[in-house]
Structure 1
C-alpha cells in the first residue's frame, strides 16, 4: 500500500486525474504544485492523511478535490480560495473544525459536501458562495443555520439529515428544489420559501421523526404543498413530513390502502395529488424511509370498460439521497403528484369516472436497493383531482391549455391550518379539486 507520494521534480501537464483512494499516505509533497494539468485529486479514505500542502492552491485547473473519509484531516490550506477552478469539494467524515475565510472566493464552487463533519462550525459568510448548487451538512452538530444561507441563490439541494441538534431552519435560499431533513428531532421552527423561481421540474421535501415543530410550520408547509401541486412546472413532487391524517383538502380519502373518487368535473382533468399516511412497523428495519419506494395501482372506468395501470411508482421513490438508512418512529404523511398521459389517453379520460388509487404490495422479484413499502403500513390514503379550465373545443388539442393559472381562492381554500387537524363533519366542505 502506498505510504509516500513521490516528489514531482519538474512541471508535468499530462497528469489530469490522480486517485489515491484508501492509501496510507500521511501528507503530500509541496512539489505537488508542479502537476500543472491536474484537474481531479481523489484522496478518499486516506485515514492517515493529516494535512494538505499549501502549494495545492497553485493548481489552477483543479476542479474536483475529494477528501471524504480522511478522518485525521483537521484543516485545509487557509488560501484555498485561490483554487479558481474548483467546482466540487468533499470533506465528508473529516475532522475539519473551521473553513478558511478565503472559501468565499471559490466563485465557481458548485458542490460542497460537509457530511459527518461533526466538529465543524458553518461559517457565517457561507452565503458568499454564489455558484453553490448542492450543500450537504448531513450528520453535523449545527444548532442553527447562518442567516447568510438565504443568499445562496443558486442552491438547489440542501441535505440536513441526521442533524440531531438543529433547532431552526429559517430564511432558506429561494430556489431550492430538494430539502432533506431525515431524523431531525430537535427542529422547532422551519420555513420553506414558497416563492421559488426554480424551474428544474422537480421538488422534494422530507422532514422525519420530529415532534417539536411549531404550529407555524403546518401553515407554511400547506402553502408550499399547494403551490408546488398546482404548478405545472413541477410534476415530480414529493413531500414527506410527520402527520397522522390526510389533509382536509383531499376531499376523497379513506382508511386503509385504497380510495375511490366517483365524481368528475367539466374541467380538463390533468392529474391527481395523491396522499398516504404511513405508520411505523414493529420491526423498524422493515421501514427504511430513507431508501424506499411506493408502488400503487391507478384505475378508472370509461365507456363501461375498466382501465388499470398496475405498476405505478412515486416519482424517484421517497428519496435516495440519504447516505444511510433512515427509519421512521411515528406516523408520516406522503404527498405526490400523478400525471395523466393526455397525449395517449385523452379520449379515455373524457368520460372517465370511478378513479381508484390503491397501494400495492411490491413483490417485484428484481433486485432493488430500495425498501418496498407494503400496504399493511398504510393507515389512510387520499386522492385530489387536478384540473385546468377548458378554453377550447374538443377538436382543439393545442398544448396551450397546459399553461396553468393558480387561482388564489383555491390556494386559500387549501391553506393548511388543516394539515395537522382531524376532519370534522360539522366543518364547511373543502373544495374537492384543485383548479389551475
Structure 2
C-alpha cells in the first residue's frame, strides 16, 4: 500500500482497495486513516456507508450535491454545509492537503462526485474501497490494492484472537476451532464475528452451536454479504441463487449448458457476479464462498412461498413430493435427506413441475436413518438438466426417467446394479458420476453420450469390465477408475482424442493398461497389478505428470518416455532399474522414488531436475558421477547401502539452489574446518563461497510428523559489514533410521573480500530442541579447491571403476566385488560414515522416527558496531515448489530475536497434549499448499532486501 500511495509524489493520487465483502477492506482503510493522519496534520475525512447513500431516492445531480456537502462538512469540520453547485468543492479545497477515505463505493456516480484529482491541493491522497474493480478502472484509477484471503495460519490466528484472546486455541478446543474456521472459509469478517460469538463458551456449547453455524448466518455477517446481492439485477440475482444451491464448483461450460434456453444472460451474469466478488472463476470453474452459499439459502427461505422458484426447506419439499403439490414456477429442488425421517414420493410428484431443471438430494451425517420410498414408475420432468441423487436406495432407476436434456448425472454412493437397458439419447450429457456405487456390475451403452467430458467410476468395486462403447466418447477429458477392485479389462482408449487425465487406484486385478491417446496430460496409477505401460505412451506429446506409485509388479520401462514429462513418480513400486533414457528428459523437474526397495542404481539425470526424492531406497548403492543436478534438492534418507562412489558424487555436488540429505555419522575430511558439537569458528578468506555439512539426528523429544528446523547463527567478527540472518526450511522426509548429513552451499556476497582481520562464528541449534547437532563442518570454496577436489574425486572414481572392471570376470564376481568395495569404503571418514557401527545395526536399534521439514537459519552480527546490529536473513525451500530455490530476506531485528524465535514452541504442536491426533490436525492447517490464494498485500509490512544463493 505504501508504494501505491507514493508519498514522494507531491501530486494528488487516488488508490483503490478491492476485494469481496467481509475481506477486511474497511479495516485496512481505517488503519490507514489512523496511521497516516499525522502526515496530513489531522486533516482527514472518512466517508462510510456510501452504498446506503445510493438508496435515498435522489436524482443523480442531487446525489452528487449531497455527497459533496457531506465531504465538505467532514473536511472543514463544519456541520450542515449546503452548496448550490458542484464547483464549490474545488473552490474550497484546491489548496488543502487532505487524506480522504471513500469506503464501500458502489457506483461511478459516487466517484464522479467525490474523487476528482483537480479539486484538491498538492499531496492529497484519496483511498477508495469497493467490491467492484470495474468502476475504479472506469474512473481512471489504476493504482489498485487487491485484498486476498488470509492464509490458513493467519485465519487461525484471527479466529483465536477473537474467540480466546490469544493466538492459539486452548486444550480441548483444537478440533472445534478447525471446524469453525472451515465454516468461515478464511473470511476475516466471519472469523471475527463467529469467534466473538463463541468467546467464553464451554466445549459443550460449541458442539451445540456448530450445526446451526453451518446453515445459518450471524445477522452481522448477513447484513454485509447481502449488500452485494441486493445491488444485482433481478436476472443476476436468480443466477446467484442457482449457483449457490446447485452449481458451485461447476465448469463454466456446464453452467452455460444447464441454463441454456432460459431468460438468463449467463455469460454477462457470470461477469457481473465476478466483478462484485460474489463468485470466483478458477481455471474455468465457478466457485462461491461457503458463507455466500448459506446466504443464498437464507434469501430463498425468506421469499414468499408462492413465488419461490427454488425450494430448499426439507419439510416443504417433503410435502410437495408426497402430495404432488408442485407447480410450474418451481425450477429446482435441493434438500438434505438427513433432515427427513421418511419420504414416500408420489408417482405423480413431478407431473405439475413442468419447468423443473434441477433436482438435488444429498446426504447429511445421519442420512442412513432416512427411509425413502420411490415408486417403480414415475414420470420425470423432461427439462431436467441436473440429476444429483446421492445414495439412491434402489437397484434400478424408475421407469419414466427422461434424460434427453440431462447435463450432469450424479448418482454417487447409490445401490444401483444397472442403470438402464439399451441406448439412450444423451447428447447433452457432459458429466457422469457413479463413484462408490458398490453394487454396479455393468455400464450401459454410452455410445450416444457424444459430449460426455467427465466419467467417474471410482469405488465401483463390483464393476468387472467397462463397456466398449466408451471408445466413441471423443470429448471425454477425465476418466476416473479408482478402487475398481474387480476391474480386469479396460478397452483401448487410443481413439479418445480429448482425454487429458486418467486416474486409477487400487485396481489389483488389472494387469494390462490399455493404449492411450496422444493428448493425455496426466496419468496416475496407484496400487494396481499393472506390469508395464503401453508402447503408445512414447507418443503422448503433452504428458507432464506420470505417477506410477505402489505398483509392485512394475519393474522397468519397456518404452521410451516422452520428453515433455515434468513430474515422474515411481514411489513404492517394484522398479529395479531406471533406464539411461531418463537423461533425455529436458523438462523433468521432479523425480520421486520413495520406497523403491529394489532399486540399486541411478543413471545420469537431466540438469533440469529440481527434486530427487529417493527416501527409503534401501537397496540403492550406485548413483551417476557426476550427478549434474546443481538446482536439485536431493534426499537419500535411509539409503543405508549407498557405496563410496555414490557418496562422493553426492557430497561433491554443486548445490546452486538445492541441498542434499544422506546417511552419515561424520563430517567428510574435505570439510577442513570442523568441530564436534554445534559451534564452529572459521577464518575469513578472500573467498566468500563455502560448503556446509552438519551431522543431525532427531532425539527423544521428536514427535512423529513434527516440523524439524535446524537453525544456525553466524557472526561476522571484524569491521562493520552488512550482517544477516539466514534460515533454510527443508521439507518433510521419512523416518530417520540413523544419523544423517545435511549439505548445502552458501555465498556471502555482501562481505567485502578486501577487508581483513575477520572471522566467522557459526552456531547451530534446533528449533524446539528436537534435533541433536552431532558435528558441523565448513569447506571454504575457491577456484583452486574446486579444481583439486574434482581431480581427486575423478581419480578416485576412475580407480574404483578400474577395480570394479578387473573384478567383473563374471556377473556374480562383479556384484560381490562391488559390494565388498562399498562396505570397505563406507567405513572411511571421507565418505562421512561413522566409526561407531554400521547402519544396519543402528537401524534395528533406533526407534523409527518420521521427520518433517528441517530449516536452517544463519544470522550475522557486526561485532564492533555499537550496539552490534543483527539482520534477519530467511530462506525457504518447499516440497511442492522446489524451483523456488534458496531466497534470502534481510531484516533488521533485535539481537535477542533469534533466541526468542528458536525457543518458541511450534504453534499447533500437540506433543504435550493428551490428544496427539487432534494436535496433528491443527498443525496441518499451517501448511499452505495452495499459493494461489496468497494475497497481494500481507497484513504486515516488511522492508526487505533479497539476495540469491
Same fold judged by TM-score > 0.5?
yes
Deviation at 1:380, TM superposition (A): 0.6
In structure 1, runs of 5+ residues without a counterpart are 364-372, 389-404, 424-435
Q: Does 1:279 align with 2:697?
A: yes
C-alpha distance in 2 between matches for 1:47 and 1:146:
31
Distance 2:734 2:558 in 1: 29
**CA deviation string 1:357-394 (max 9, x = no partner):** 3333324xxxxxxxxx734x221112344578xxxxxx
Residue number in structure 2 paired with 1:209? 638
Once the two structures are TM-superposed, the CA of residue 89 in structure 1 deviates from its matched residue by 0.8
Name the SS for the 1:70 alignment partner: coil
Match of 1:191 among 611, 624, 638: 624
Q: Secondary structure at the match of 2:775?
A: strand
For 1:16 and 1:184, how far apart are their aligned partners in 2? 39
- Structure 2 unpaired stretches of 5+: 1-412, 414-433, 797-828, 835-948
For 2:557, the equivalent position in structure 1 comes to 123
Instruction: Map 1:374-393 onto structure 2 (within 5 A).
Output: 374-375=770-771, 377-385=772-780
Q: Residue 297 of structure 1 is aligned with which of 707, 713, 721?
A: 713
Partners of 1:361 and 1:173 in 2: CA distance: 34
1:260 aligns with 2:684: no
Tell whether 2:650 aligns with 1:221: yes
TM-fit CA distance, 1:91: 0.7
User: C-alpha separation between the residues in 2 aligned to 1:416 and 1:211?
Assistant: 25
CA distance in 2, matches of 1:195, 1:169: 12
Q: What is the correspondence of 1:9-408 to structure 2 with a 5 Å cutoff?
A: 9-13=447-451, 15-24=452-461, 26=463, 27-54=465-492, 56-77=493-514, 79-80=515-516, 83-125=517-559, 127-173=560-606, 175-195=608-628, 202-223=631-652, 225=653, 228-229=654-655, 234-235=656-657, 237-261=658-682, 263-267=683-687, 269=688, 272-279=690-697, 281=699, 286=703, 292-301=708-717, 303=719, 307=723, 309=725, 312-314=727-729, 317=730, 319-320=731-732, 326-340=734-748, 353-363=758-768, 374-375=770-771, 377-385=772-780, 408=787
Match in the other structure for 1:369: none
For residues 1-12 of structure 1, the aligned pairs below 5 Å read 1=413, 2=434, 3=437, 4=440, 7-12=445-450
Seen in structure 2, the aligned counterparts of structure 1 residues 21 and 272 have a Cα distance that, compared at 3 Å, is farther
Cα RMSD over matched residues? Answer: 3.8
Counterparts of 1:286 and 1:17, CA distance in 2: 42
Instruction: Give the deviation of 1:21 after TM superposition.
Output: 4.4
Deviation string for 1:87-129 (max 9, x for gaps)? 221112112123223333323322211111001232333x343
Matched residues in 2 for 1:278 and 1:415: separation? 28
* Distance of 1:416 and 1:207 partners within structure 2: 24
Q: CA deviation at 1:61?
A: 1.6
Contact 2:679 2:762 in 1 (8 A): yes
* 2: CA distance, partners of 1:170 / 1:347: 41
Contact 1:107 1:131 in 2 (8 A): yes
Measure the CA separation in 2 of the matches of 1:21 and 1:295: 45
Q: Distance in 2 between matches of 1:73 and 1:100?
A: 14
C-alpha distance in structure 1 between counterparts of 2:563 and 2:721, whole Å: 55
**SS at 1:169 equivalent:** coil
| Alpha-carbon distance in structure 2 between the residues aligned to 1:386 and 1:23 | 59
Pick closer, same or farther for the CA change 1:100–1:221 going to 2, 3 Å.
Answer: same
Instruction: Tell me the SS of whatever aligns to 1:86.
Output: coil
Structure 2 CA distance for aligned equivalents of residues 73 and 162 of structure 1: 22
Cα pair 2:698 2:770 within 8 Å, conserved? no
- Give the 3 Å change call, closer, same or farther, for CA 151–42 of structure 1 in structure 2: same
Write out per-residue CA displacement over residues 254-302 of structure 1, whole angstroms, 9 at most, x where no aligned residue.
21223232x21234x3x5432211235468x74769x754343344345
Distance between the aligned counterparts of 2:777 and 2:766, measured in 1? Answer: 18
Deviation at 1:243, TM superposition (A): 1.6
Q: Secondary structure at the match of 1:107?
A: coil
* Contact 1:295–1:362, Cα closer than 8 Å, also in 2: yes
Evaluate the alpha carbon distance shift between residue 330 and residue 421 of structure 1 in structure 2; reply closer, same or farther with a 3 A threshold: closer
Deviations 1:140-175 (A, max 9, x none): 223333444444454333222212222233454564
Would the alpha carbon gap of residues 422 and 360 (structure 1) be closer, same or farther in structure 2, given more than 3 Å must change? closer
Deviation track 1:327-358 (CA, whole Å, cap 9, x = no partner) reads: 12222111023454x5xx56799679443333
The alpha-carbon distance between structure 1 residues 50 and 246, as it changes in their structure 2 partners (threshold 3 A), is: same
Q: 2:719, 2:758 within 8 Å by CA — same for their partners in 1?
A: no
Q: Given that residues 527 and 549 in structure 2 are in contact (C-alpha distance below 8 angstroms), is that contact kept between their aligned partners in structure 1?
A: yes
TM-score by length of 1: 0.70
* 1-structure distance, mates of 2:457, 2:759: 60
Query: 1:189 and 1:412, CA in 2 relative to 1: closer, same or farther beyond 3 A?
Result: same
Deviation at 1:206, TM superposition (A): 2.0
Do 2:508 and 2:528's aligned partners in 1 also have CA atoms closer than 8 Å?
yes
Greater RCO (CA < 8 Å, at least 6 residues apart): 1
Deviation at 1:60, TM superposition (A): 0.6
Matched-pair contact (CA < 8 Å) for 2:664–2:833: no
> How high is the TM-score relative to the length of structure 2?
0.34
- Preserved CA contact (<8 Å) 2:717 2:759: yes
3-state SS of paired residue (2:618): coil
Q: Is the 1:222–1:415 Cα contact (8 Å) retained in structure 2?
A: no
- Give the secondary structure class of the aligned counterpart of 1:220: helix
